[in-house]
């Protein structure tokens, strides 16, 4: 198993083909579909295709760099995290994370976000990390703030804004 970082409760590893069913289930949860309907998979086969793509990116150390989040105590796949490029800012990355509903409210998202941010600064040579939140997703905004991200502005007209209501942009520097 390729482990990229770990914290007290989780480890981040390369996604494996056998994760497809759980990845599909995690992304099919109501909260994920509510805030990021474009990040749900149509079926398990689409999740498998995504895993193969993400594995290839990780193997080639290129973006998007997406990792599985596994609970150390049980080995359960509880989410994923990743970073992608920011247009016209070569030293910046945009971070994302998803933790299944069963584990919401336990500080795991903040733990993942802090660790992935540190990993991005150290391993991927980023000096700036952005987090973007759909307007109204107060829980994700709080996670970013707890992880040391500072609100910088609101963004309108982004093609990945599912409702067209704007995105809140947060930033953390190395």
- Give domain limits for the chain: 3-173
For residue 170, the model assigns a pLDDT of 98
> Where does 3-173 sit in CATH, by number?
3.40.630.30
| Residue 59 CB coordination number (10 Å) | 10
DSSP structure class, residue 7: -
Pairing label, strands 128-134, 3-6:
unpaired
3-state secondary structure of 131: strand
- Tell me: cis bond preceding 110? Omega within 30 of 0 counts: no
* pLDDT (0 to 100) of residue 37: 78
- pLDDT tens-place values along the chain, 174 residues long: 899 999 999 999 999 999 999 999 999 998 888 888 777 899 999 999 999 999 999 999 999 999 999 999 999 999 999 999 999 999 999 999 999 999 999 999 999 999 999 999 999 999 999 999 999 999 999 999 999 999 999 999 988 888 888 999 999 999
Q: Is the pTM of this model over 0.85?
A: yes
Beta bridge partners of 130: 94, 171
d(CA 43, CA 122): 35
What is the reported pLDDT for 147?
Answer: 97
Residues contacting 163, CB < 8 A, separation 6+: 134, 135
How confident is the model at residue 164, as a pLDDT?
Answer: 87
> To 10 degrees, what angle do helices 108-123 and 138-146 make?
50
Task: State the Cα torsion 65-66-69-70 to the nearest 10°.
Answer: -90
pLDDT of 34: 86
Q: What is the pLDDT of residue 145?
A: 98
In whole angstroms, give the CA distance from residue 126 to residue 85. 10
Cis amide linkage into residue 64, ω under 30° from 0: yes
User: What is residue 29's three-state secondary structure?
Assistant: coil
């Amino acid at each position: 198993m390729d482990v990229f970082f770990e914290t007290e409760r989780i480890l981040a590893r390369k996604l494996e083909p056998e994760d497809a069913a759980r990845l599909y289930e995690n992304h099919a949860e109501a909260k994920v579909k509510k805030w990021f309907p474009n990040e749900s998979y149509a079926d398990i086969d689409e999740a498998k295709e995504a895993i193969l793509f993400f594995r290839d990116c990780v193997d080639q150390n290129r973006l998007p760099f997406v990792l599985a989040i596994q609970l150390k105590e049980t080995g359960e796949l509880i989410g994923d995290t990743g970073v992608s490029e920011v247009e016209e800012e070569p030293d910046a990355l945009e971070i994302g994370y998803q933790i299944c509903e069963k584990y919401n409210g336990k500080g795991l998202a903040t733990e993942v976000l802090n660790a992935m941010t540190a990993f991005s600064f150290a391993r991927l040579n980023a000096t700036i990390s952005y987090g973007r939140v759909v307007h109204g997703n107060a829980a994700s905004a709080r996670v970013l703030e707890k992880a040391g991200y500072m609100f910088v502005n609101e963004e309108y007209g982004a093609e990945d804004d599912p409702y067209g209501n704007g995105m809140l942009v947060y930033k953390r520097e190395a």
